Every structure is written in C-alpha cells, then in structure tokens.
Amino acid sequence: MTTPQTLDTLYFWNWTWMGLGISALALLSMVVTFALLIRLRTGVRSLLRRFAAETSPVVMPVQRLADTTLTLFLGVLSVQLVLPFVDEPPLLGRLIEMAFIVVASIQGAIWIRELAIYFLERQAQGRSDDETVLASAMGIVGWLLNLVIWSFAALIILSNLGVNVTALIAGLGIGGIAIGLAAQGIMADLFAALSILFDRPFVKGDFVVIGNTMGEVEEIGLKTTRIRALSGEQIVVANAALLARDVHNFRRMSERRINFKIRLDYATKVDQVSQVPDLLRQAAMAEPGIRFDRAHFTGFTDAGLEFEVVYYILSRDYRAFMDTHQQILLRIMRMLDDRGVELAVPARLPPQYPSSAANNA
C-alpha cells in the first residue's frame, strides 16, 4: 500500500530528475550553440583569408571584425540565446544578463575601434612619404579613439548595472573642458597635422607659397611643418597657423599661364601696328612646350602703344618657364628689329629745382 509519505518521495525524485534533465539539456544546448558559433567564426575567417590579397572595402572590415571577436563573447552569447527557453532562478538570470551586458559592451567597443582604425588607415594610406610621422599620428589617433570608445563603453556598462552616471558624465565634461583649454594650442596643431596628412593640401617635396613664406616642404611634423626657403634657410611654421592661411601649391600646377605686355613707340605706323599681334603669335608658337592663347593691341598709354600676350607653358618647372619666356622675348625683339619697329622708351623728365625767386620768397 502506497502511503502519502511514499508519494511525496516519488514526486520529489520525479521533479529532481526532471530538473536535472532540463538542466542537462540546457547545458548541452549551450555547448552546441557555443560550438556552432566558434565554427561560424572559424569558417568566416577561412573564407575571408581566400580574399586576403584583395583590398575590398567590404572584405577587410569584415575580416577585422571576425579576427577580433572574443571567445568569451561567443560563450556568453550562447548562454543568452538558450536562457529564454529555461526557467532559471531570477537571481541567476539577472547575473547572466549583467555578464552579457558587460561582455557585449566590451566586444562592441572592440569592433567599433577596429572599424574606426581601419577606415582611418585606409584614408591615410599613401598620404605621407614619412612613415614615422604617419605612424606617430595614427598612434595618437588610436589613443584618442580608445579613450572615447572605452569611456562610452564604461558609461553604458555602469548605466545598465544601475549606477547613476549623470554626475559622472557632468564631471567628465567639466574635466574635458579644462583639459581642452589647457592643451588648446597643442591640440590645434595636432589636428592640423592630421588634416594635412589626410586632406593633403601639400606633401613633402611640394613647392608652396604661404603669405610671405615660399619654399619646398621638407618635413610635416605633429606640431610644425618645415619649409626650405629659396634663400637656403629653414622656416618652421605651426600647423594650425599654416592652415589658417591660403596655401599656393605650385607642384599641383599642370601648366603655367603667362601674361606680359610690350609697348611700341608712337612713331610706329598703323600698318606695322596691325601686323604686330600676328608677329607676337608667331614668336610664341615657335617655342616648343607652350600653348598660345592670344595677342592683342590693347590701347594707348603714356609710355607707348600697348600690346598684351597670353600663353601657357605646359610644365610646372620654374626654370623651364624662365628659359622659354626668355627665348620668346628675344625672338620678339629680333622680329621687331627686322621690321624697323622700335620699342617705346619711357620719357624721363628732368628734375625740377625751385627757382631762386621762390627760395627768396
């Protein structure tokens, strides 16, 4: 005969074995899910390595994400995926949820950092001939990214753990303002250097004119840029001050526009004046490496009859420009001399001296 005590014992063992079975099934599901996630990560890595030689803007970021996926994150994720199907104790569920928030925040911060570094490196690739400067700049950018990303990750973790982060955010804001004001000049030059490296208004070896400063760029540093002037001295300019002014980069010039004027004597006959524009065109076009634009009789001046010539030298080399321009001017002088046309000579007025009467007055 079955007594109530026996029934209670049977119920107890039934529920115990059922609970153990459910727990074992849940644990097995977690292990299987974890193994599948590990297998998925390995498969993605193997697939992406086949395209390792490609610099696709899609393949490379995904490969970085796969390579930086934490095994701990996959383990916690597998537990979180199985947990909704298990009637776990509230305390255990809360602990698992908190662990998932912490690990997921860390994993998210790592992914965001890797993507940001990748796109910055891609943008900076080939931007500087000096790899040391570029490496230093990327190191500083990486440090700033780490500071910002991990600060946000810490705030997210603390907020989800029930910590009031309002006062902490206010304190960080005030501290950031104080640090920014203290390091204002240094940070301005640093970000100006990054702007020069990424935006490339000029690179090492370019000939630039900045205000009254002209010369060849020798080095682009994190705080200053060094320019070798034509007279030989080295000019050091702060990066922030450099970008605050207009930069004329002559190396980016594909051709040089030349505009010059000549004046003929007023004794020149009208028929000769009408032939001069064509003579100027012939003189310019006889020189190789130029593109002629126009030559015109532009008017009457106090110095003489004025003609304007415009042409382009198909080179950015300054010495080639001077050699070509010199040959054109000499050819113009010969052609005018052969036709008996004289260049205008500015009139020189004799000096005026005050009269003795004026001095005596």
- Chain centroid to Cα 255, Å, comes to 26
Query: Which of 311, 293, 299 lies closest to 264, judged by CA?
Result: 299
- Chain centroid to Cα 12, Å, comes to 70
* Model pLDDT, residue 361: 41
Q: How confident is the chain (361 residues) per 10-residue block, as mean pLDDT?
A: 54 53 68 84 79 64 83 84 71 80 89 85 63 65 81 83 73 66 66 76 85 86 85 88 84 87 92 93 92 94 92 88 93 93 74 51 41
* Model pLDDT, residue 310: 96
- Chain centroid to Cα 235, Å, comes to 24
* Model pLDDT, residue 281: 94
> What are the residues whose beta carbons fall under 8 Å from the beta carbon of 279, sequence distance 6 or more?
332, 335, 336, 339
Assigned token pair, 134: 């570029």
| Structural domains for the chain | 9-184 (no CATH), 189-249 (2.30.30.60), 256-338 (3.30.70.100)
DSSP 296: E
* Model pLDDT, residue 354: 56
Q: Exposed/middle/buried for 270, CB within 10 Å: 0-12, 13-18, 19+? A: exposed
